[in-house]
Amino acid sequence: MSFHLEMRIRELVERGESPVRARELALRRFGDYEASRMACVAIDQRRRRHMMRMEFITDRTQDIRFALRMFRRMPAFTAATVLTLALGIGANTAVFSLFHHLLLRPLPVPEPEQLVNLSAPGPKPGPKSCGGIMGECDAVFSYPMFRDLERAQTVFTAVAAHRDFGVNLGYRGQTLKGDGMLVSGRYFPVLGLQPALGRLLGPDDDRSVGGPEVVVLSYEYWQNQCGGRSDVLDEAVFVNGLAMTVVGVAPQGFEGTTRGLKPQVFVPTTMRWRLQPWPGSPPENRRGYWVYLFARLSPGVALEQARAAIDAPYRAIVNDVEAPLQEGLTEQTMAHFRAKAIRVEPGSRGQSSVLADARPPLTLLLGVTTLMLLITCMNVANLLLARAAARSKELATRLSIGATRGRLVAQLLTESSVLGLVAAVASLLVAQWTMGLIGSLLPADRMTLELDASALIVTAALALGVTVAIGLFPALHAARPHVLAALKAQSGQPAGGRGGARFRTSLATAQVALSMVLVVLAGLFTKSLANISHVDPGLVPDGLVMFGISPQRNGYTAQRATALFERLQEEMAALPGVTAVASSTTPLLSGDERAESAFVEGFDVGPDTDNNTMYDEVGDGYFRTLGTPMIAGREFTRADSGNAAKVVIVNEQFARKFGLGRDAVGKRMSIGTPALDLEIVGLVKNAQHSSLRHTASPMYFVPHRQSNRRPGFMTFYVRTSLNTDELMMAIRRVVLRLDQNLPIEMLRT
């Protein structure tokens, strides 16, 4: 442009124009010179950038082709490297996916960060239904307290209640066992969800106890059991034997508000007393604690502000309404009761004991897999250093004929990137297989594990990090050989000289150190397994099969359920190879526990005396069937019926706690009141009842035929001298013959 402008000015001067006038005329004829100059500069920059991109793409394409050719010539090296990286990345991806699914992922609802969980630690005198997967007993409230807080609060959009319960679901003649969720009318509005079909439950569905008989299906149940049909609305689904009308389907991907639980149906909390009877705890009972609460913060309200605002009405209700209802509390306990305060905690991930229980083991597992990945990277980096040493003469030759070190580094990094990319793809298969293995160990009806977008992001990030970790240092050192020495050498030299040797030594040292950490962790884990395996369960597990049924969930009356239990026990006893059959209302080693206060002859009970003890209701021959030795006294028999004298058997821990020693047989005790109307007829050896991880608890056993409770669930234990697999098939046939719509629960050895 300057040349053309100058030539034009010279031409005008030759025609007789003054230099100043000539320049003015030339610029006028040329147009906006500065704009044209900038346009040309921009065109040049675009052309340069395009050429650089094309050059980069061409170089990388050449590097990739070269890397693929080289790897094809070294199949053993390539396979070992890719497999090692795939295992390391895949294991980390799978464990992180599990970690994210259980501990990090928020609920699939709008603005989950606005959700909060409510709890109220402190004394809760009276019957409690808590623990388990939904959370600790500190978080349960009475139903009247929930209604009071629902009306009194001013800082939430609304307060919602929820509680899990077991269900037998019947639809068009097919019945299956599952989980249900009792929810208040503001449950779905608080979550801000929209139905996949029909409508969700609302405040009008939760106004009167005992009705209305409406149900919302989970999306998964609708798809699997109802075929995803839109005409399922207004049809009847039998929930624990009660026909309920389907009014809607929950949105896809919503699995409730309790991590680790997948409810198939959502029903109003007001239906609890028809679907899950709990004698002694009517709706108006302020001393019956069973419901869990959560809420959504109003716009602009902070967490601490919400806590202070909801705590004021809660304290007023506790002191003015509930405190006068308490009986038998000492002054100290009453002071603690009156001082109870409500807690408001983040609830974006729902409300579940899994959030606390799974964090330590999953964090440890994630740490172990991370250590494994670090060791993997060190191994592969050593392999690449060794490979670079073998190629030192080649690299020196390329440097000597003009290749830049930057170009060599780029090529070597491309080679490690190809390895990382192939390993990342293979790691997805490893992660998928690992997730399937983990999923097979977990209850299928409680949790769905799958690789999602977060897993893909983690895989990509790990692959990128691994590529840099294994390739950068080997590439930098391999691209700095002593050219003359490398060219004269016959077999190459160690890449990077002394620096490379020091780096390899450092890698080896770090590998040994990290491997020792893994060995120690593996040793501790093995010791824990050994400790558990050496725990005396107090029973003989070989040849023992257990299963449960819940006839009351299918609409059985107490009398029909009792008759079914008796008939089933007779049928089990008649099976070939069966040597003993027994039953109990609480399944062994399930984590379930029930407690009552006990009054024992010779044991003084004060206001603050801990006289609580675990209990179970069992059938005749229970301890003989399990193989639990009797220390003194006798076993229950069929003669211990409802009309016979009331009897009880206690374990060693019970005798120790209440000062009975080995002289427990013949002493009297009572449950709940100091009537002493039960005679201890047996002392049995301690046995692990709820879990192998805890020591045996003080426990008493009563014949379920003498219990005032009419159990809707019963666990059976069948001992056989034959193959247990054949016995389990026979059990299925017997239950199917007695009631084809009755699901079998927990069938296992």
Taking only the tens place, the pLDDT of each residue in 392-444 is 666 666 666 766 777 777 777 787 778 888 888 888 888 888 877 777 666 65
In angstroms and rounded to an integer, the radius of gyration of the C-alpha atoms of the chain is 37
Contact 576, 197 (CB under 8 A): no
Q: Where are the domains of the chain?
A: 2-56, 74-102+357-529, 112-348, 544-748
Q: Quick one: pLDDT at residue 466?
A: 73
CA 427 to CA 448: how far, in whole Å? 20
pLDDT in tens, 325-371: 887 777 888 888 899 999 999 999 988 877 777 788 788 888 888 78
Cross-strand bridge partners of residue 649: 682, 701
Torsion from C-alpha of 649, 651, 652, 653, nearest 10 degrees:
-130
pLDDT on residue 495: 45
Determine the pLDDT at residue 492.
45
Q: Find the DSSP H helices in 239-342.
A: 272-275, 303-317, 331-338
Residues of the chain with pLDDT under 70: 1, 4, 30-33, 277-281, 388-400, 402-403, 440-449, 469-538, 589-593, 595, 607-608, 689-694, 710-711
Given this model, what pLDDT does residue 491 score? 45
Please give the pLDDT value at position 529: 53
* pLDDT in the model for residue 354: 77
Element (H, E) at 150: helix 143-152
pLDDT of residue 138: 86
pLDDT at 117: 94
Rounded to an integer, what distance in angstroms lies between the CA atom of residue 139 and that of residue 118?
Answer: 7
Q: How many C-beta neighbours within 10 Å does residue 49 have?
A: 10
For 120-155, where are the E strands, in sequence order? 140-142
The structure's pTM equals: 0.73
* 8 Å CB contact between 168 and 177: yes
State the Cα torsion 610-616-617-621 to the nearest 10°.
-120
Q: What is the pLDDT of residue 528?
A: 58
CB 43 within 8 A of CB 26: no
Q: How many helices and strands in the chain, by DSSP H and E?
A: 21, 22
